[in-house]
Amino acid sequence: MRLTAEQRTEMVKKAIMCEQPERVPVICKQEPSFAIEYAGYDLKTALWNPDLIVKATDKMYTDIYCDAGGNMPRFPLLYKTSGSRAFVPRELDDFVQHPEVEGLLYEEYDEYIADPFKCMVNTIIPRLYPKLAEKGPVGSLNFLRVMIADNQLKSKYLAGCAAVEKKHGIINIRRGAIEAPFDFLADLLRGFTGISKDVRRDPGRVQAAVEATLPVMYKLAKIVNPTPGIIPSLFIPLHMPSYMRTKDFEKLYWPTFKKLVDDLIADGYTLQIFFEKNWTRYYDFLQELPTGVIAYFEEDDLGMAKEKLGKKLCLMGNFPITMLRLNSKQECIDKAKEILDKAAPGGGYMFCMDKSILSLADAKPENLIAVCEFVHEYGVYK
């Protein structure tokens, strides 16, 4: 039985707010690159043509059940035009990857702390996007090229996806993405290696830099998702905590992240937060988060998460996509049933994979189809 967009909106809103809906919502985590391959298009050709990605998404939504989705691909045109060192289209098919980079040198911390945005423009962007920093009108024209490309590609993609979602009655539950202040500093500014050293040799500067980043992320959130509400949620993928000592997390990561979450929820937003890797040792912290958070877990057992966090947070995730690749259809269905039996009772839960499905090599389509259909049929609240 296919549901209407109104029914889906209602049940997703209830689940996010930790209430019990009619059914367990099925959330799509297939990336556009999976849709392209599933529909039989050449990946490189489609990554340069939003219309093809939209057609592929239409095919995917026709065949694979879901209630809600929402994503934004990385278009190679932007990164080629800007000479990006931070996001690099790979030679084979222009799929965009992100190598380890150091956009901010250790000796530039004070410049960043004094005025983060000025430092981004003057120092970090020229280092990571050299074509944007070429002298004279060449650099200015490159900046314009990238802004025009960004505008054209995203407008076309979003309009196309909105039409496809309307056709299938699927709702978009995600709009805009930001980062935890510490992750923003770690990912492209200092890099994994740099930040790991800084935490030990100069935690005071790291703390000051993270605190300077907090208002940047807050402002960004209001711009990339200008309409607070239960849906669409802001997306926040969390990266570094699994690699940190708990005492460093408590001092350097948690305070600004918690403040960001609290402030945005108080403003009326909901947040889809991807807790990458395993977060069990941080549950005492997560218990402080407010309702309005969709806790999207990768490795955490949802039974334990339900017990410790399920009264306040909406849970989703944890179905291992490796099973879709390696196991039989029945084994995949059994795993989905096991997760639903633990996480669904009482509501406040949405079914979802443990991570995004990037390509056909990640998941056998017949297994994915079987699991999504099973959850839709089995996940009914009586």
- Candidates 42, 100, 115, 338: give the one binding other proteins (CB under 8 A): 115
Residue type, 124: I
**What residues numbered 216-255 form the site for other proteins, per CB under 8 A?**
216, 218-220, 223-224
Q: Which is nearer to other proteins, 139 or 215 (CB)?
A: 215
Distances 122 to 108, 117, 125, 140 between C-alpha atoms, Å: 11, 9, 7, 14
Q: How many residues bind other proteins (CB under 8 A)?
A: 31
Dihedral of the alpha carbons of 55, 60, 229, 2, in degrees to the nearest 10: 120
Kindly tell me which of 127 and 342 has the beta carbon lying closer to other proteins: 127
Least distance to other proteins from the beta carbon of 115, Å? 5
* Closest distance to other proteins from the beta carbon of 46 (Å): 22
β-pair partners for 274: 237, 296
Q: Are 109 and 205 in contact (CB under 8 A)?
A: yes
For residues 239 and 257, give the distance between their C-alpha atoms in angstroms, rounded to a whole number: 12
Q: Which stretch binds other proteins (CB under 8 A): 9-17, 165-173, 211-219, 335-343?
A: 211-219
According to the binding rule CB under 8 A, does residue 150 interact with other proteins?
Answer: yes
Stretch that binds other proteins, among 115-123, 253-261, 266-274, 338-346 (CB under 8 A): 115-123
Alpha helices in the chain (DSSP H): 5-16, 32-38, 43-47, 50-63, 76-81, 109-114, 116-119, 125-128, 137-168, 181-184, 191-201, 203-224, 246-248, 254-266, 283-286, 302-309, 321-326, 329-343, 365-378
CA distances from 332 to 329, 356, 359, 370 (A): 5, 17, 18, 8
Phi, psi angles (nearest 5°) of residue 67: -100, -30
**Cβ proximity to other proteins, 16 vs 185, nearer residue:** 185
129 binds other proteins (CB under 8 A): yes
DSSP assignment of 319-349, as one string?
Answer: B-HHHHHHS-HHHHHHHHHHHHHHH-TTS-E
Out of 2, 90, 106, 118, the residue judged to bind other proteins by CB under 8 A: 118
Which member of 25, 69, 89, 116 binds other proteins (CB under 8 A)?
Answer: 116
**Structure tokens that stand for 198 in this block:** 């800084």
Tokens of 219: 């402002």
Q: Between residues 104 and 295, which has the closer beta carbon with respect to other proteins?
A: 104
**Footprint of other proteins on residues 164-183 (CB under 8 A)?**
177-179, 183
120 is a contact residue toward other proteins (CB under 8 A): yes
User: Which three-class secondary structure state does DSSP give residue 82?
Assistant: coil
Q: Which is nearer to other proteins, 121 or 266 (CB)?
A: 121
Closest separation in Å from C-beta 233 to other proteins: 17
Taking the least distance from each CB to other proteins, the nearer of 145 and 329 is 145
CB 316 → other proteins: shortest distance, Å?
Answer: 22
Integer Cα distance of 21 and 42 in angstroms: 39
Q: Which residues form the interface with other proteins (CB under 8 A)?
A: 82, 84, 86, 103, 115-118, 120-121, 124-125, 128-129, 147, 150, 177-179, 183-184, 187-189, 215-216, 218-220, 223-224
